[in-house]
Each structure stands twice: as C-alpha cells, then as structure tokens.
Amino acid sequence: MKSVEDLGDLSGKRVVIRCDFNVPLDGQTITDDGRIKAALPTLEQLHQAGARTTVLAHLGRPKGAVDPTFSLAPVAKRLGELMGLDIKLATDVVGPSAQQTSASLKDGEIALVENVRFEKGETSKDEAERTELAKKYASFGDFYVSNGFGVVHRKQASVYDVAKLLPSAAGSLVAKEVKVLEGLTADPKRPFVVVLGGAKVADKLAVIDNLLKVADTLVIGGGMAFTFIKAQGHEVGTSLVDDDSLEAVKGYLAQAKAAGKSILLPVDVRVSDSVDFGAHTVGEIDVVDADQMPAGKMGLDIGPKSEKLYADAIRSAASVFWNGPMGVFEIKGLEEGTRAVAQALTEVKGLSVVGGGDSASAVRSLGFADDQFGHISTGGGASLELMEGKELPGIAVLKESN
C-alpha cells in the first residue's frame, strides 16, 4: 500500500479522505472521542502539507436517508477543537453545499461533508449504484486517502469504489492497524495469548478457528463462555447460550486438546436472578463455581478466581490480542472481570492489542488511558475479520492501487 508520503507534494492539491467518526453520542455530546483522536495524525499531516482536504465519514445507521439524529455536526465541532482549526461542515453529502464547501477550500483547510450513509448508494449491494456515488466523491479530490480502519471490511462507495477512481494511499491509522494485526497472525512473539469475550459465540467462530492455529492460549469470557461451559455438560441456568454453536465449540475444545493448546474457561462466575440491560441495573450478585451454576440464575461476569487465572495467563504473554468484554461491564458490580483483563494487559512486557469495539469503550470507561496499551484498534469488526485471515475489500483495493 502507498503511504501519504508516496503521493508527493500535496500543497494546493485536493485530497478526499475517508475517516471513521462513528462515535457514541448522548444527544449531541460525544461520550468517547477516541476515533476522532486516532484520525488526527493523518489529518494534521495533510493540513501541514497544505492540502485542501475533504473528509468523508459516517455516524450510525441512517439507512440511506437524511436523519438529523446522525448529523456529523458534533464531530465537526470536536474535530475543530482538537485541531485548533475551523472545520467547515457541508449540509449535504454530494449536493450543492458539499460541492461549494469542497471547491472553496484554501491550502491547509479541512471540510467535512455530511454523513455518507445519508446516501442510499453508499452501502448499496449494486456496484453500479455505488460507483455512481463514488464518482461524486472523486470529484472532490485529486487523491484519495483511506484512514477509516473501522470500515475497511465493507465494500462501500466511500471505502472501496472511490479508491478505484483516484490515486490512493493508506493513512497512518490504517497502515498501523494492518501492520499490527497482520503481524499477530503471521509471526507473533510467543507465548501468544488471545482473549475473546462478548455476547455471542457465532460472531467469533471464524476467528476462533483461525486463531487456534496460531495462538498458544485462548481465553474465553463474556456471554460466549456459557456456550463453552454448556458444551462441557454443565448447567448454565438462564445464561446466554448459542445452542447452534455447541457442536462447533465441542470441536474446538477437542482440537485444542489434540494440538496441546490451552482454552481457558471461567472457573467461577458472577450470577444474578434479575438484570435489566436497558436500565443498567442488576439484582443481588452471587459468585459460584462455573460448574455449579444454579438453574434459575444468569451468568453475567467472570468471578474473582477466573480474574486471577486470566490475568496470570495474560501477563505471561509476549503478545496479547483482546476482543470483547468479560461481562456486562456497563452495570456496576459486573465490570470487575473486564477491569482485571484490562489491567493485566497494561502489565504485559510485550505487545498488547485491544481489538476495538466494546473492548475499546470498556477500557476508556473504566479509566484506562490509551497509552497504557500497545495498540487500541479503532475497528472491532475489521480487526476480527483481519484476525480471521480474511481479505478486507478496503485494504485489497489499496494494495491494487497504483
């Protein structure tokens, strides 16, 4: 992949850049600006080079229609604060406002057009429809820079199709993500420990399959752990279980045993007989052994003994990849497992990678700083697909670009 430096002198040149500004909002307030901060090095580079930069980005899932709830106005405001610049915001995506805003840029200035997902063609399965929109994006620039790692696993107009129309390069964020994550699957420093959590096993089957070949130890937590516990023949009460994945999980347990690899499962869990996920409340929390769960209770977090077991495994690693919380960390009393894993990652002597998504939100909400980890990915889905060994469309097109 080409870098921004490979594009040559950008002074006075028009650059279209795709960023991932899909940040969590509470009304008009951004509650985690990590993705905006992650884009800053490349945006600063373009600003300092004197480029006239038009930014493409999305927020939420407005499904191809204008929805003010998903306006990028809060993003433009925060980006301006972080860069100390006046960030111009167009009121449409490729219409008169976007065209005029982009065309009026002076050297070093940056404009943001509205949410690209307001356009139906952005996420269309019809290549011709996506290409038609991509041509409008391409009219904003002489070059295209891909800097939104969180969307490179999508074949979308602002990610894939526009890169075929303009000389293209990877921004520093995308380049770093690919280097770190491909390095983990190709030639990790050992022992290599992978920690997987989150709700559903089905979402992680492919990554488990691929990582069992390269990881030395697989650590399983979160809701998905209860499918593994049930696969071993134990009671899991009312815990979340993916029954359709039970046979696959049994196969992974046998495969790991045959290969002499470890799959660590919780030895104790925090359970309750009532939880309201929407209101973020839980009834009385008990700790029970993982093979002695009461029939009427739900497992909601790993327990203290599991925290120590997992933390010891993580700290002994030379490389660690973590994706998915250990419990319902948003609810007080159920964040301790995730906190223990995050703390252990900060103590790894080698490379610690937080694989985006809920894991990235969790470490920040629990008070950890980004620089306590080797790398925090900005793309949960993209990082998992890369770890699965998949070819990502937004990366493949950059490698093909000349």
Indicate whether 371 belongs to any domain: no
Are 151 and 259 part of one and the same domain? Answer: no
Tell me whether residue 59 is annotated as binding: yes
Known binder of ligand: residue 143?
no
- 204 annotated as ligand-binding: yes
Query: Does residue 236 lie within any of the structural domains?
Result: yes
Radius of gyration of the chain (CA): 22
pLDDT tens figures, 261-304:
999 999 999 999 999 999 999 999 999 999 999 999 999 999 99
Whole-model pTM: value is: 0.90
Residues 171 and 62 in one domain: yes
Structural domain count of the chain: 2
The CATH number of whichever domain residue 40 belongs to comes to: 3.40.50.1260
| Under 8 Å between Cβ of 95 and 137 | no
CA–CA separation, 364 and 339 (whole Å): 10
Domain contains 13: yes
Residue 361 lies in a domain: no
Q: Report yes or no on 372 lying in a domain.
A: no
On whether both 18 and 120 belong to a single domain, the answer is yes
32 and 67 housed in the same domain: yes
Residues 333, 207 contacting (CB under 8 angstroms):
no
pLDDT in tens, 342-368: 999 999 999 999 997 789 889 999 999
The answer to the question of residue 376 being in a domain is: no
- Parallel/antiparallel/unpaired status of strands 110-112 and 192-196: unpaired
Same domain flag for 215 and 161: no
- Do residues 127 and 237 share a domain? no
Asked whether residue 228 falls in the same domain as residue 252, the answer is: yes
| 3-class state of residue 300 by DSSP | strand
Mean pLDDT of 368-396: 92
pLDDT of the residue at 402: 53
Q: Supply φ then ψ for residue 18, to 5 degrees.
A: -95, 120
Question: Does residue 305 lie in a domain region?
Answer: yes
The verdict on 79 and 201 lying in the same domain is: no
Closest CA to 198 of 33, 43, 381: 381
Catalytic residue annotation: 35, 200, 357, 381
State whether 270 and 342 are in the same domain.
Answer: yes
296 known member of a binding site: no
The verdict on 160 and 55 lying in the same domain is yes
Q: Do 211 and 111 belong together in one domain?
A: no
Do the annotations mark residue 107 as ligand-binding? no
Q: What is the pLDDT of residue 200?
A: 81
Same domain, 108 and 194: no
The pLDDT score that the predictor gives to residue 354 is 95
Q: Where is pLDDT greater, at 361 or 95?
A: 95
Is 197 annotated as contributing to ligand binding?
no
| Domain region containing 233 | 190-349
The answer for residues whose C-beta is within 8 angstroms of residue 258's C-beta and 6 or more apart is: none
Using one digit for the tens of pLDDT, what is the confidence trace for 133-181? 999 999 999 999 999 999 999 999 999 999 999 999 999 999 999 999 9
Domain annotation covers residue 338: yes
User: Using CA atoms, how far apart are residues 376 and 394, in angstroms rounded to an integer?
Assistant: 20
